[in-house]
Structures are given as C-alpha cells and as structure tokens.
Structure 1
Amino acid sequence: MDGATFDYVIVGAGSAGCVLAERLSASGRHRVLVIEAGGSDRRFYVQMPLGYGKLFYDPAVNWLYATEPDPGLAGNRDHWPRGKVLGGSSSINAMVWIRGHASDYDDWESEAGGAWGWEAARTAYRAIEDNEAGGDDWRGTGGPLFISANRRDLHPLVETFLRSAEATGLPCNEDFNGARQEGVGVYQMTIRNARRNSAARAFLRPAMKRPNVTVLTHAQVTRVLFKGRRAVGVEYQRHGRSGRVRAESEVIIAGGAIGSPHLLMLSGIGPAAHLRTHGIDIVADAPNVGRNLNDHQGLNYTWRMTVPTYNDILRPWWGKALVGMKYLLTGSGPLAKSINHAGGFFRTSPDLTRPNMQLYFQAFSTLVPRVGERPLLTPDPFSGLSIGLSNCRPTSRGEITLKSADPFVHPRIVANAFSTENDVAEMLAAVKFLRRIAAEGPIRSLIAEELRPGPSVQTDDDLIADFRARSGTVYHPSCTARMGRDAATSVVDPDLRVRGVEGLRVCDASVFPTLIGGNTNAPSILVGWIGAERILKNAR
C-alpha cells in the first residue's frame, strides 16, 4: 500500500466517509481509498442493537475522548465516545434516525446556498432511505439505507409515556421526519433484521465489492501531504510503521467534528499562532479551524416504578439468558432495539417558532454505575424508568485545539456547556416540563417515587445546580470546520473545499454551518451524500 496512488483518498470511514466511498466509486471511473484508524465493524456488540452499551468505553472501537473540566458542568470532565471502527459513530450510536427540523436546512441555505437548503435535503433524504413505513412526500423507499419504523415489540410503558406527554398538550406525531417535528411518538431506527444498520453496512460494504475501492483499516492518518499549497496525499501509521499514499484528484477528510479539525491543524491548516507554539509549519492560516464547537447537552430524570421495566428482565442472570436466547433465536426482544423507543420534540415557550428541546423515553434506569461500562445490559436493581431531554440549538460554543504536535495525543476539547444565559434558562424550563409529564394521570399512578433529582430539588437554583452536575453530551459534536460562503466565518466553502489550499475537502459533521435540532447521524449521512455530488461535479 505504501506509495500507492488513488484518485480520491478518504480519511475516515464514519457516517459521511462511508457514503463518499459508495458514491464516488459507483461509476467505476475513480480509484477510491478509504483509510480508517479503527478496525472491522463485524463484532457481536456492534451488530447487536442494544450492544452499544458495551462499546461506550471500549478502546477497540472508540476514541474515548474527554473534555477539559467544564465550569458549566460543575467542573466535570465529560466523556465523549466517538466511533473508531468501520462505520464510525454510526457503529456505536443509539441508532435514532432524525433529520432535524426543516428550518434547520433553511439556516444551512442562508449560510451555504441552495445545495444545502431544505428542498435539496428532502430530495436527498428520500433518495437515501428505504423506509419501512413506506414512501410519501417526505419518506423515501428503495434507497441504500433501510430505516425501521420501530412499531413492533415496544415496551408497554411506551404507550403510557405517550399518553402522559399528550396530556400536557403535546400532539401525537407519527413521523418526526415528516411534515412537522413537534410532538411525541416512536423513533425510527437504523436497524435492519435485528442488526445495526450502520453506514458501513448500508454504504461501505456494498462499495467494497467493487474493484476500484480499497479500504485500509488500523491506519491512522498523521498529516496531509502538500506540494506547495495543493494536497497530494496523506501520511499514516499502521502497526507501528509509516506509509504514504498519493491522491491524484483530492484528499477528503471525513474524521468527524473532533478528528477533522485535529488533522487539519496537524497538517498546518489552522490558527497560525497556535500552530507555531507546537512547532507546526503553516500551510494556511485558518483561524476558524476548531472553533464554533457546538453540541447537544442532556440529562435524565428517573423514577422508581410500581410496575416492571426493562430493569427487571435485563438485571438478573436468568433474564439476561432469556433475552439473549430470544434475540439469537428470533431476532426480537430488548436486545434487538435501541433503549430509546420513543421521544419527541417540544418548545419551552409558545413564542418559539420551532421545538427547542428533544425528549427520550427509556423503560429503564442506570443510577447505579458499573465501572468501565455504560450499563445498558446491567441496569438498576429495581424497577426504574427514565425520561431524558437535550437542547436542540444551544448558543454555547466551545473549541478544539492541539495539546501536542504528536498525532497520537488527543486534542484539547473545551465544551463550554451552559455558558450562556439562554442555554441555562431553556434547560431550566425543560426539566420542569419533565415533571409535568410525570404528573399526568397515565404515568403518575405507576410511579413510586422520583429518584433523580429527587423531591428535595425544587428551587430554580437547585434545579440549575442539578443539571449542571448531571448533564453531559448526547454525542452530537459539530461545526468545528464549518461550511459557508463567508470566508471570514467558515473553514470550507459550499463545495466543501478547504479555504487557502487546493485539492483538499472536509466532509462530515464538522462542516455543519449550524447544529441540527435532533440526532446528527442522519445529517452526517446527508453531508456525505450531497458532498459526493459536489465533488463529482468537478471530477476530472
């Protein structure tokens, strides 16, 4: 492999990178190399949907990033898992398929033009999807990515939650990706035939059957190589040995919202003064690289229930054996799903024009931690239930900078969570709404007691202190190499070309102009899809 030449070199086999590999190779005219720092996604706990709890701290598939101590989170360091495996974070996430609000893409259009607006996005999503619920003006069928409607085998308390949320005034919503987003309902999932349907499974694996596609795993790219100001290849380390590959057309960085700005800076593209402090030669002074970090923050409220929850079947050894056999023999049961069966979107003020909060319902609780594991498969030893939420469009901004010029040292991540009055005020209103849901008749009669934060936490100051102490990322970092028409505020142009150099693009969640109001796997796949169109438009 060392010294080989390809037309396109894609750095990272995450959600966008997998889509790029499939689309750029489809014609057969272009030689495509995908370089991935992690290994194969063919691992049991990757393929089993609920197995993602086992991957939360697994260095074999996870970068295991950590933020700096955050004053907005009561001084805590937050754990940021990101996928280090074929499929990237789509191989370790909770599989919820949410496009975002239509107006999110209006925001993108105002920053980056019509190719990224809502009508273009809706057309692309319909081409991407093979939706189990069937096709209509919003959903697509026949595309490469199967989307489960998630209507079967739901926990009985899902219906109780939905009726309770509706009692607060929220409407029932049959499709959050349809005509409207607001309301409560069941989440669509990237699950197919009881297996995770990651970007690797839907896009990369089919592309790997083509003779013009090469995938190199366990190879970490350490820098982009330049001839003058043109990217001509990359350098990587694999099994302790250094190698180089050349790109005749372009290098495309798809390392995600942390990995992509990190690689840009290691390669000499970033804030010049900062790079010089680490002894890095400047290729292009790009002050916005690593800035504008945006992420959703969330937390759970938890109750002890008087009726069984998933805790009762997933905690004891005999329950684990039972659900394990059910999954292996029938492809059903709790192991065949995400823990987030249902949820929704709501506004903390009627004056808002779109939802600013997202709900997650879990017939499950994990107050008692287990070292080294997100305990989805070992829940609390009592019947527990959690309702979570996260903010959709926080105004707080963080940044990613270098700790070292050593590419194997993780970058410094400063999240700056809840650093604006707006974010604090809307989260305060949101957590109060969780208690409104719990006070409604359908679910109220089944609650034994509130466990977190507990009935003693009542004042605004106490509620704020609680969510600062218990909140954390919901794993949606973005915007760190943002796209836009304005060179003063962006890293890449609307065609995803890195400003100040040639032959180099970024294509992943880092280029989001703004954070989408919802889970970010779908828009990351969208960026790969539309990004491939933009690349092929200029292909040689």
Structure 2
Amino acid sequence: MSQFDYIIVGAGSAGCVLANRLSANPQHKVLLLETGGSDKSIFIKMPTALSIPMNTEKYAWQFHTEEEPYLNNRKMHCPRGKVLGGSSSINGMVYVRGHAKDFDEWESHGAKGWNYQTCLPYFKKAEAWLLGEDDYRGGKGPLGVNNGNNMVNPLYRAFIEAGKEAGYSVTNDYNGEQQEGFGPMHMTVKDGVRCSTSRAYLDPIKTRNNLTVVTGAKVTRVLLDGRHAKGVEYALGDALITAKADKEVVLSAGPIGSPHILQLSGIGDSKILEKAAIEVKHHLPGVGMNLQDHLEFYFQYRCKQPITLNGKLGLISKGLIGAKWILNKSGLGATNHFESCAFIRSKAGVEWPDIQYHFLPAAIRYDGKSAFEGHGFQVHVGHNKPKSRGSVTVQSNDPAKAPKIQFNYLQHQDDIEGFRACVRLTREIISQAAFYDYRDGEIQPGEHIQSDEEIDEFVRQAVESAYHPSCSCKMGEDDMAVVDSETRVHGIAGLRVVDSSIFPTIPNGNLNAPTIMVAEKAADMILGISPLPSSTASSFVHPDWHHQQR
C-alpha cells in the first residue's frame, strides 16, 4: 500500500500535462502510472521515423477493431501509445487545434464552459509557437510548434496555389483566426526533435520529490468505497499493488483505456458488465459509447519531376538523412513531411470545415513502402465530422483481455456522401494549373473510379483510420454522459477522466492539440484554480456558408 494525493493513470498526451501541473505544488504527492516504458528511442525522437513507433508492439497497443460492417467487414488497426508520452510519442506530430465552432459545439452538447473563448487561453498556455505570441498563439508554453523545413519542396506551395486557383482562400495560420483554406501545416517538433508531452511536460520535472513515475504498471481497476474512488490496483511484474489517493484518481488512459478501466472497476452499463462477469458498482450506460474517429485515404499521383521523397527510400539516402539528423537535428529527418494542408467545407450549407488535407511530397504507405516505381505525391483526405458512432466494451473480467472496439465507420449516409465529396473536390484541386509541371496521372483511386457506386466501393476498400479515436466517455449532463463539465465521473466522488475520451464530439483536425488543451484546463479545475480569463478573439466563418461551398 502506498499513499498519494493524486493518482494519474496513463502518462500520455493528457497524463504528462496533469503530472506537471498537479505536482507544481510541493505539498501535493502525485503518482503517475504508465504501462509502457522509456520514450528515449531514436525512432520516437526523429520526426521522419514516425511510422516505426506506431507499428511497434513495445511502444503502442496494437488494437484492432471487430469486423466493420460498413467497410466490407475489414478489421481496422487502432494503435494507441504505450510509452511515456502515450500517443504523442507515436503520432504524426501534426498540430491542429480544430475549428472554433467545434468547441462551441461541445458546449451545445452540455459541456458547460468549454466553448472556444474559454478553451483558447489554454491552447495558448500550452504552446511555444515558433513565431511568438499573439491573440491566438502562445509563445511561452512547454509545447514546441513549428512548420518543419518551411516547405522547401516546391510541391508544398503548389498544393496551396492549386487551392487558391480552385477558388478557396489561403490562410497563413489555420490555428489562428481562420482555419478554412490552404496554408502551411504545423507540427509538434522542437529543435528538430519530436516534442511529445513527455518531453515538453514530464522531462523538466522528473526530479520533483513529490512526483513518482512508475512505468510497466498495468492498472487493473479503480478501488471504490461505495460511490467514492479511494485508489487504484495495478500489476507491476508479478506483483499486484494497491495505491491510495487521498484527493482524486484521474484516468488519462485514452479513448480505449479509460472506458475499459471504468468497466473493469464496475462502472458502466450494467448489462455489459454482467455479461463480462463484473460486479456492477455503478450503472453508467454511457461508458464506452459515442466512440468516434476520423477516416482518411491517400489520393496519389505520379510526379513528372524527380523531386519527391520516393527518391529517398534507398538505404544510402536513408543513412545520409539519419546521419544529418543525428549530427545537427536538421534536414529531412527533422520533419514529419506534412508541411502544407487545407481545411474546406464539403458543400454549401456546412458552417465550418469538415474536410481536412495533409499534403505529402511522396506516394507512400504509412509503413514507409512505395506501391509503385518512380516519383509521386499524395494528399491524405478525410471527412472529419462523422455522424457514425461506435463503442468500446469490456469482454471479460480479466484486465489482460483487450476490449471489443467497434466504430461502425460509414454507418451514416452523411459520412458516405462526405467521402464522395472528398474524391470529387480533390480531383478538381489537383487538376489546377499549379500542378501542371508536376502532375502525371492518378495512381489512386484511379481515373476509372467515377460514379457514386465506384467511389463508395473504393472508399470501403481503401480508407484507413487517421488514428483519432475519441468521445467514448463524453462530457455533458444527459443520460449518456460519463463526466460532467468539471471532468468528474457522474455519481462517483474522487474520480475524473481527462483525455480525448471526454470530447462530446470529434473536432475537425488531429486530436493531440485539443487533448493537451483539455488537460491544461482540467488541471485548474482539479486544483480549484480560477479559470484563465476568456478570450475575446474572433473566428472566421464564411459569410455566405449557407449558399457557397468556397
């Protein structure tokens, strides 16, 4: 038995933030538990090696979904970070906050006090934007954010120019006033090295005497005294250890881990718990429900000029890139290669962007392999405001057995139509004059894919997860809400959930930035600190969004 004030379960994107903020007061004794281990691998630190940790058992839970009925019964890969820094140590490092309206939407779903004006100060608190602080960007936070190699490859700027030629706006900062449009993309890289939350928030404070970090710890359940969380039980090697929390237990195990731990602890839908032979401690039907994710596919083209990363896939080229990065943390090793992007609306009548683009000057899979000979480029595109909903459900009272994951991708007709728009709008963009000197034939989907039926079948076969699971312990006040607007689990004292699982709806963008923001804001709530003053900064919405798509 060990005793602490706060116990944080999961040293990931949220957990490292909480460990930093809660242990800032030397009077608070904090325990941070993480199943994974060290994040010091070169493959985690080097931005260009991003595909390696994501696909490595040592650093990531290699979850897979059940057969997805609307994706031709494919089982989809769902990796989650299992290392200090969590998914911020295995992700693509793309920094996207989401549109201002995404957070207003949260508040409309019952998350009181989580609108854009109240969230923006916490985005700023977290960030050290390379260009400095303004009304939208933070300059003094722990999290380094920049644009990689500043779009040296001409294909990045060709993509932005093509969007402009197609009639879309150009935005210099999609994380500022205007998300909608084409522009440079931002990444969590600092001095050429991945800036995970472990590096940004945990490394500087590991020597605090009041902070205990335990790796290799698998939490099996939250310990309850009636309707009060009193601590956790966790396995460490062959030992089963009990840790007591005098103040609170905070689950930051992510959108798969947090609902699973709640269910293992007897908190969840009683029917699901009884089926798994788990004693029901508190019937809370929303646990594990409302699961959401982003899907995407690669739109690939051959390139006329030998300027793409496909020419850098040989062992000698990789060796030179690695050597330059090791020596001075610069060059192609210091970027995730997603250096330009876009956010557009799929059709008139959509108020804020629901389609996202990541542009890459290569035609290549996530495993780093090329599917063809020669040079090419691709743009990752996805419909980012899905209406399909899934679930995470415990299958057994054995904590070692993974939960059942079912997203029900493309269950909703609006999601299908959103991907049809992705195909047709992307083709129009890439057909612009800006790509004339580069574009040399469509590799994927292939020019023969034209009708709605052909597009739908291509999407079902080719679409992949963008690795943004979320919303499985949603915040709100309705019958299916799991936590309240203070991140406290409904009906259980001394227990909170703070990670992307508490998002009511998924934002239009990558999820690392909003997860960090949620942890920054929740830390003040946990400590009883007055929230940062609300921002008065405005946000852009197309003045005629009812009638114009661009």
TM range, smaller chain: over 0.9
Question: Which residue of 2 is the match for residue 493 of structure 1?
Answer: 484
CA positional deviation for 1:129: 1.2
Q: How does 1:241-256 map to 2 (within 5 A)?
A: 241-256=239-254
C-alpha separation in 2, matches of 1:526 and 1:481:
17
* Residues 38 and 86, structure 1, Cα contact 8 Å, conserved in 2: yes
CA positional deviation for 1:403: 2.1
Q: 1:9 to 1:424 in 2, by over 3 A?
A: same
* Residues 314 and 378, structure 1, Cα contact 8 Å, conserved in 2: no
Question: Which residue of 2 is the match for residue 298 of structure 1?
Answer: 296
C-alpha separation in 2, matches of 1:262 and 1:201:
27
Is 1:433 aligned with 2:431?
A: no
Question: Which residue of 2 is the match for residue 509 of structure 1?
Answer: 500
C-alpha separation in 2, matches of 1:327 and 1:209:
29
Amino acid at match of 1:495: E
C-alpha separation in 2, matches of 1:74 and 1:179:
40
Question: Which residue of 1 is the match for residue 200 of structure 2?
Answer: 202
Question: Which residue of 1 is the match for residue 5 of structure 2?
Answer: 7
Question: Which residue of 2 is the match for residue 419 of structure 1?
Answer: 411
Please give the secondary structure, in 2, of the residue aligned with 1:298: strand
Question: Which residue of 1 is the match for residue 263 of structure 2?
Answer: 265
Amino acid at match of 2:85: G
Equivalent of 1:154, from 139, 149, 152?
152
Question: Which residue of 1 is the match for residue 367 of structure 2?
Answer: 375
Is 1:344 aligned with 2:317?
A: no
Question: Which residue of 2 is the match for residue 518 of structure 1?
Answer: 509
Is 1:448 aligned with 2:446?
A: no
Please give the secondary structure, in 1, of the residue aligned with 2:291: coil
Please give the secondary structure, in 2, of the residue aligned with 1:206: helix
Q: Mark the runs of 5 or more structure 1 residues left unpaired by the alignment.
A: 368-373
CA positional deviation for 1:67: 0.5
Moved more, 294-303 or 149-158: 149-158
C-alpha separation in 2, matches of 1:27 and 1:277:
43
C-alpha separation in 1, matches of 2:310 and 2:409:
35
Question: Which residue of 1 is the match for residue 118 of structure 2?
Answer: 120
* Residues 311 and 382, structure 1, Cα contact 8 Å, conserved in 2: no
With the length of structure 1 as denominator, give the TM-score of the two structures.
Answer: 0.95
* Residues 148 and 337, structure 2, Cα contact 8 Å, conserved in 1: no
C-alpha separation in 2, matches of 1:151 and 1:183:
21
C-alpha separation in 2, matches of 1:212 and 1:327:
36
* Residues 148 and 336, structure 2, Cα contact 8 Å, conserved in 1: no
C-alpha separation in 2, matches of 1:318 and 1:143:
38
* Residues 82 and 88, structure 1, Cα contact 8 Å, conserved in 2: yes
CA positional deviation for 1:377: 7.1
Amino acid at match of 2:515: S
Amino acid at match of 1:519: N
* Residues 73 and 472, structure 1, Cα contact 8 Å, conserved in 2: no
Deviations 1:458-505 (Å, cap 9, x if unpaired)?
11110110011111210111110001133x130011111111211111
* Residues 160 and 183, structure 2, Cα contact 8 Å, conserved in 1: yes
Please give the secondary structure, in 2, of the residue aligned with 1:72: coil
Q: 1:377 to 1:152 in 2, by over 3 A?
A: farther
Amino acid at match of 1:156: P
C-alpha separation in 2, matches of 1:402 and 1:509:
19
Question: Which residue of 1 is the match for residue 75 of structure 2?
Answer: 77
Amino acid at match of 2:524: E
CA positional deviation for 1:195: 0.4
CA positional deviation for 1:378: 6.7
Deviations 1:15-49 (Å, cap 9, x if unpaired)?
11111111111121210000000001111100011
Moved more, 381-390 or 391-400: 381-390
C-alpha separation in 1, matches of 2:433 and 2:507:
33
Question: Which residue of 1 is the match for residue 94 of structure 2?
Answer: 96
Amino acid at match of 1:396: S
* Residues 313 and 320, structure 1, Cα contact 8 Å, conserved in 2: no
* Residues 296 and 390, structure 1, Cα contact 8 Å, conserved in 2: yes
Please give the secondary structure, in 2, of the residue aligned with 1:448: strand
Amino acid at match of 1:258: I
C-alpha separation in 2, matches of 1:300 and 1:507:
32
Question: Which residue of 2 is the match for residue 479 of structure 1?
Answer: 471
Question: Which residue of 1 is the match for residue 362 of structure 2?
Answer: 364
CA positional deviation for 1:380: 5.0
Q: How does 1:52-67 map to 2 (within 5 A)?
A: 52-67=50-65
Q: Would you say how many aligned residue pairs link Structure 1 and Structure 2? A: 530
CA positional deviation for 1:51: 1.3
C-alpha separation in 2, matches of 1:279 and 1:375:
39
Q: 1:378 to 1:236 in 2, by over 3 A?
A: farther
Equivalent of 2:172, from 171, 174, 178?
174
Question: Which residue of 1 is the match for residue 104 of structure 2?
Answer: 106
C-alpha separation in 2, matches of 1:163 and 1:517:
22
Deviations 1:220-269 (Å, cap 9, x if unpaired)?
10111112221111111112221111111111000000000000000000
Amino acid at match of 2:495: L
Please give the secondary structure, in 2, of the residue aligned with 1:82: strand
C-alpha separation in 2, matches of 1:153 and 1:108:
34
Please give the secondary structure, in 2, of the residue aligned with 1:245: strand
C-alpha separation in 2, matches of 1:491 and 1:293:
12
C-alpha separation in 1, matches of 2:529 and 2:319:
55
C-alpha separation in 1, matches of 2:193 and 2:492:
41
C-alpha separation in 2, matches of 1:479 and 1:433:
29
CA positional deviation for 1:97: 0.9
* Residues 290 and 389, structure 2, Cα contact 8 Å, conserved in 1: yes
Please give the secondary structure, in 1, of the residue aligned with 2:74: coil
CA positional deviation for 1:125: 1.3
Is 1:466 aligned with 2:466?
A: no
Amino acid at match of 1:361: F
Q: % of aligned pairs identical?
A: 38
C-alpha separation in 2, matches of 1:220 and 1:387:
38
Q: Mark the runs of 5 or more structure 2 residues left unpaired by the alignment.
A: 531-550
CA positional deviation for 1:311: 3.4
CA positional deviation for 1:135: 1.3
Amino acid at match of 2:221: R
C-alpha separation in 1, matches of 2:283 and 2:122:
34
C-alpha separation in 2, matches of 1:538 and 1:139:
22
C-alpha separation in 1, matches of 2:100 and 2:498:
21
CA positional deviation for 1:309: 4.0
Is 1:393 aligned with 2:391?
A: no
* Residues 149 and 331, structure 2, Cα contact 8 Å, conserved in 1: no
C-alpha separation in 2, matches of 1:458 and 1:123:
45
* Residues 114 and 120, structure 1, Cα contact 8 Å, conserved in 2: no
* Residues 24 and 536, structure 1, Cα contact 8 Å, conserved in 2: yes
CA positional deviation for 1:445: 3.6
Question: Which residue of 2 is the match for residue 227 of structure 1?
Answer: 225
CA positional deviation for 1:114: 4.7
Equivalent of 1:130, from 123, 128, 131?
128
Please give the secondary structure, in 2, of the residue aligned with 1:204: helix
CA positional deviation for 1:538: 8.2
C-alpha separation in 2, matches of 1:262 and 1:219:
16
Deviations 1:365-415 (Å, cap 9, x if unpaired)?
225xxxxxx423777542121111112210000111122221111111001
Equivalent of 2:188, from 187, 190, 203?
190
Question: Which residue of 2 is the match for residue 370 of structure 1?
Answer: none
